[in-house]
A and B are shown apart, each in its own frame.
Chain A
Amino acid sequence: MDFFDQFPVMEQQELRDFKKGIDLAFRTFARTYGDAIESFFEPLLFFLVWLEKLLINSPWPMIILVLAGLAWIASRSILLVIGTIISFLMIGYFGMWKDTMSTVAIITVATLVCLAAGIPMGIIMARSNRAQATLLPVLDMMQTIPSFVYLIPILMLLGIGKVPGLIAVCIYAIPPIIRLTNLGIREVDKEALEAIDSFGATTWQRLTKVQIPLALPTIFAGVNQTIMMALAMVVIASMIGVRGLGVPILRAISNQYLALGLMNGLAIVALAIIFDRISQHYGKRIQKHREGRNL
């Protein structure tokens, strides 16, 4: 009867040794390959530092002008342009300019890294059912595992700073772009594919001329989601030494500074809304353009 009342649990000493074994194995791994991995990411760090310095050191009216210009090119909506200008003016006026620029830098680089890695992965997933079957649970894990759990190995491997922060952000932010690239390509009309096949297109032509263009609106929804999730990770990234809007929020949390936390939190919201609208409008415009051609 004991068997049913007491869960057959691993012996305590064995469990302890088991955990210690895992820790030790990872420590050895980190000690052996830490430097190599660090130098692998060096170009990324260089780019990130360069972009952050560029954003911080450029005159602020220029940055606002560039951002407003981007908003206009992407959306052609005067309302969004005005909203962008007002938000950044307020962010600057309340003394959050430097932190915001740091955050914009890391979000930009994180998004680029996620797209560069995520879109090819999405394409592979769309082409092979086996790849999809293996990657899906991994993506589920990346999205649900508490971020504090993977912060520890990242810290052991890369220490504190921008690159580990970037990796933590990407682990959380990359799944949507992979998922939606996969989905977009799989949803392309069979007729369109039959048509291009009948013209004797190569696999590459089939991908770049039909599948990706037709999947672009869905892929853009993925880009948009990736940006949003990267912004959501700003505070977590600050816990391992990434400068930006997350740092004052952490300070506000441990000291119960209501106003400080709220202001920096709202700055993140403002960034999120601006990036979201810009990428959404851009996605919609691509769609409209295509619909126009179809008519």
Chain B
Amino acid sequence: MARRTATATKSRATAATKTRKIPAPTLAVERFTLDNGLRVVLGPDRSAPTIGITINYDVGFRSEPEGRTGFAHLFEHLMFQGSHTLEKGEADKLIEGNGGVENGSTRSDYTNYISMLPSNALELGLFLEADRMRAVRITEENLKNQIDVVKEEIRVNVMNRPYGGFPWIDLPPVMYRTFNNSHNGYGSFVDLEAATVDDAADFFARYYAPGNAVLTVTGDLDVAETTKIIERHFGDIPRRDVLPIPDCSEPVPDKERRAAKDDPMAPMPAIAVGYRVPDPISQLEDFLAAVVLVEVLTDGDASRLYQRLVKRDQIASHVGGLLGTFGDPFDVRDPTLLQFLAYHPGGSAEQVLTALDEEIDRVAEGVADDEVQRVITSITSAHLRRLDHLLQRAMLMCTLEQQRGRAELANELPSLIAAVEPAAVSKIATEWVRPDKRAVLEVRPGGSR
């Protein structure tokens, strides 16, 4: 039995103020929870004969125990190795062979499985997710094979390239003190090679319970029919206990933390600077001011750090900024980082830091309203662009529902961001983005060429 707990939102009302002319999105959101605890969000949109399916399990690399680095990601690979009904490779054949695409990703706070299919294959796509939520088939052979594949993934993305793992692997151990927050989510080869079939079965039992997942389906679907299909395939998966979300909290540093890394393949020095920010979930209003702050400093050629470091001082060839582990501010829980990056062949790390501090001080002193307004317009437009893609829309709604119980935020974020005042942006700069609270990682080039 499904318990329907909400209906479509029509949040057109609280739209833009002043001169802003961007209408708020009005995507439909339906939600219900199955008796086994699986939460479901449906986002019907009949404009094209396609559906997007996302299922998030509330386990990311921050949940891994010591001695098991990289296990969440390795396990993501194992979820494609066969399920209750199907042998290895058969689910892939059914998805691609019916005109669809699929993937999976492991992030700091969740692991997702995504697919996009022609809508005639809606039931098939849902069956396949249910089938591997019911059970996975992990053999010695498949485990060994996927450990090899993951090692090649790490070689191609980290070990065999300059700036591999910069900054997502390199910066957390400088900023954080706890194992959960600081360790390498790709894992060490030693830990990966130590993984056993029993470990995998245990991981599945702990983290892949229906009550630890959110399923989101967007696109060409009928709500009543899709609800029935979901009940049919997921409904009899037994309920299992759900572990509490791990407590990853740790204090904000009270003095600067620094480290340097030699990269023999890197042709020029680089630096990553991280700062803690307000809790993305419990302090959303303040967190949104940080979202605006990072764009004031790094969004495009008009941004302050680009103008300062690249154009005026000519220290850096490239600057960037991101909020969250991989740059999505809305897929992370606290603690998370605001990160600035610079590749700086034209000056020293100290010069970059001095300029950065001066620019942040300027923001702390005050930001002009029109500057904030154009940055907000830019952020909102980028958000709309993301919503135009069915699968990206499903992924966003799924994570918003899982971490906040609010898939509707996909509609509401533009108005919430539009309400950010310049003073709030300055306040983040004043209170959080301070030299004595930051972590700094320098990459020293090996001059391999």
Asked if chains A and B come from one complex, the reply is no
